[in-house]
Amino acid sequence: MKLYCSGLELSEAVLRVSKAMPIKKTMSILEGIKLSAIGSTLTITATDLELAIERKIRADIKLEGEAVVPGKFFCEFIKKLSNEEIEISTHDNKMSIKYGDSVGELQCLNLDEFPPIRKVEEDTFFTISQRKFMKLIDRTIFSVSNEDLRPILKGCLIEIDSNLHNVRAVALDGFRLAVCEEEILSTGKDISVIIPARSLAEISKIIEDEDIPCTLYIQNNYVMLDLDHTKITSRLIEGDFIQYKKIIPREFNTLITVNKSQMETGLERASLVSRGDKNNLIKLDIKEKNMSITSNSELGNINENVVISLNGKDISIAFNVKYFTEAFRVIEDEFIQLNMSSSTAPCIIKPMEGEKYLYMILPVKMLG
């Protein structure tokens, strides 16, 4: 293999695909990055068997070929050559990297051991605006569980309703639930799959905040997003997702309308003294036209007051403030609804109109 390419383009591509390398040390070959030089394209690939990322860049290829190099070292080395024009060649199972008047050489890994990337045919699919898909991911992914005990909760449920022509994303971790809906452009059938949060996070980073269509293909427990220059392939999480609709309350005794920004600011200030506390506890005392937000710790105490519109009963209830602030961070509405029933029942955050999103947060038991 022998080729010439832009150091900047190569550096960006290697950095992107390196996100698919294993987080924990497993098979040594999976710690490698594969380079394939064919025609006028250099394809860079990394995988951990669950997630694979491929990126293509332009290259002046003098001799076609393939090689696998140690990923971490290659990524760090190429990152320092982003302003250079690079010559890459392989010989005797070694890769030579020339830049200016300098040269670096590294030992290649066994090409035959690098696993093939799963091919996903265009069988089951849905097409959505990249901007809407980015919002769908960003508005739910923070509610995914990080615990290994329940692997099913480490992904987002993606449901496609071909009749309503929309997609719903659902994530929960046992303490909160996030549901978001967006319109799709096209689909072939109803779909229900669980995509790992890690894969969705990488997809969110490469798609554009523009109304450009993107299509996801699903087949045999795999999903693939192909954006011409970048391809992400991920294994789906197998199993039955939580029947989330059954755990969302529908009747409430306390209905609140509040300015989202005002409440968010109050929560952030009140949480300053509770950050070191295990539960990040804040207490809401809701009465008539006022919401009192209180936080206490060894550092001190803060009390914030926010004007609200209340329909129903007064209530005192406590929450982990992190769950509110993370939901508020992705809500763009000026006013929102908070619906509650008692100090031990969940709080439901909804838009004033429609069902574009829903956040359910479980309360924390108050002492005394």
CB 153 within 8 A of CB 144: yes
Structure tokens at 345: 């029942």
Cα-Cα end-to-end distance for the chain: 72
> Do both 149 and 178 map to the same domain?
yes
Are 135 and 150 part of one and the same domain? Answer: yes
Return the C-alpha torsion angle 346, 349, 352, 355, nearest 10.
Answer: -90
- pLDDT at residue 48 tops 70: yes
Percent of the chain with pLDDT over 90: 86
262 DSSP 8-state letter? H
Among residues of the chain, what percentage have pLDDT more than 70? 98
DSSP structural state of residue 242: P
- List, in order, residues 6 or more apart from 188 with CB less than 8 Å away: 124, 125, 126, 162
Residue 70: the pLDDT is 97
Report yes or no: 242 and 172 within 8 Å, Cβ to Cβ: yes
3-state secondary structure of 73: helix
Residue 118 located in a structural domain: no
Token pair in block for residue 258: 């509040």
Instruction: Look at residue 112 and tell me whether its pLDDT is greater than 60.
Output: yes
Query: Does 275 lie in the same domain as 231?
Result: no
Angle at 106 between CA 5 and CA 27, to 5 degrees: 105
CA distances from residue 19 to 26, 58, 142, 216 in whole angstroms, order as listed = 15, 21, 18, 20
Report the pLDDT value the prediction gives residue 368, as an integer from 0 to 100: 52
Can you give the residue range of the structural domain that contains 155? 124-245
pLDDT at 276: 65
Residues 141 and 157 in one domain: yes
Beta strand 191-196 pairing with 186-187: unpaired
Task: Decide which of 64, 89, 113 is a domain's last residue.
Answer: 113
Average pLDDT over residues 122-139: 94
Q: Are residues 129 and 238 in the same domain?
A: yes
Q: How many angstroms separate the CA atoms of 325 and 264, rounded?
A: 7
- Do residues 339 and 313 make contact, with C-beta atoms less than 8 angstroms apart? no
**Could you tell me if residue 251 is left (phi over 0), alpha (psi between -120 and 50 degrees) or otherwise beta?**
beta
Q: What's the rounded Cα separation, in Å, for the pair 325 and 145? A: 17
Co-location of 233 and 270 in the same domain: no
pLDDT band at residue 218, thresholds of 50, 70 and 90?
very high
Check pLDDT > 60 for residue 212. yes
pLDDT digits (tens, 9 = 90+) for 276-293: 666 689 999 999 999 999
Provide the CA 121 distance to its chain's centre, in angstroms. 24
**Angle at alpha carbon of residue 156, lines to 214 and 279, rounded to 5°:** 135
Q: Measure the CA–CA gap between 256 and 261, rounded to whole angstroms.
A: 15
Separation of alpha carbons 63 and 303, rounded Å: 69
Predicted confidence (pLDDT) per residue in 157-205, tens digit: 999 988 889 999 999 999 999 999 999 999 988 999 999 999 999 999 9
CATH number at residue 344: 3.10.150.10
Q: Looking at the structure, do residues 264 and 346 belong to the same domain, yes or no? A: yes
State how many domains the chain has. 3
- What radius of gyration do the chain's Cα atoms show? 25
> Do residues 311 and 257 both lie within one domain?
yes
Listed residues 93, 113, 133: the one ending a domain = 113
159 exposed, middle or buried (CB, 10 Å; 0-12, 13-18, 19+)? middle
pLDDT of residue 273: 83
Q: State residue 148's pLDDT score.
A: 85
What's 165's DSSP letter?
T
Identify whether 366 is part of a domain: no
Do 46 and 21 form a contact (C-beta atoms < 8 A)? yes
Under 8 Å CB-to-CB from 295, ≥6 apart: which residues? 270, 271, 272, 273, 274, 281, 282, 283, 301, 302, 321
Specify if 367 maps to a domain.
no
Look at residue 320 and give its three-state secondary structure.
strand
Q: Which pLDDT tens digit goes with each residue over 335-353? A: 999 999 999 999 999 999 9
Q: What is the reported pTM? A: 0.92
Is there a contact between 217 and 122 (Cβ–Cβ < 8 Å)?
yes
Cα angle 71, 155, 150; round to 5? 105
Q: What is the pLDDT of residue 159?
A: 97
pLDDT in tens, 222-278: 999 999 899 999 999 999 999 999 999 999 999 999 999 999 999 999 988 877 666
Residue 226 lies in a domain: yes
Mean pLDDT of the chain, nearest integer: 94
**Residues 9 and 72 occupy one common structural domain:** yes
Residues 138 and 172 in one domain: yes
- Are 364 and 279 contacting, i.e. CB atoms less than 8 angstroms apart? yes
Domain boundary among 194, 228, 245: 245
Whether 368 maps to a domain, the answer reads no
Place of tokens 């619906």: 339
Residue 258, domain member (yes or no)? yes
- Same domain? For 305 and 238 the reply is no
User: Has residue 116 got a pLDDT over 80?
Assistant: yes
Q: Evaluate if residue 367 carries a pLDDT over 80.
A: no
Round to whole Å and give the CA distance between 125 and 217: 4
Rounded to 5 degrees, φ, ψ at 19 are -65, -15
Same domain, 131 and 238: yes
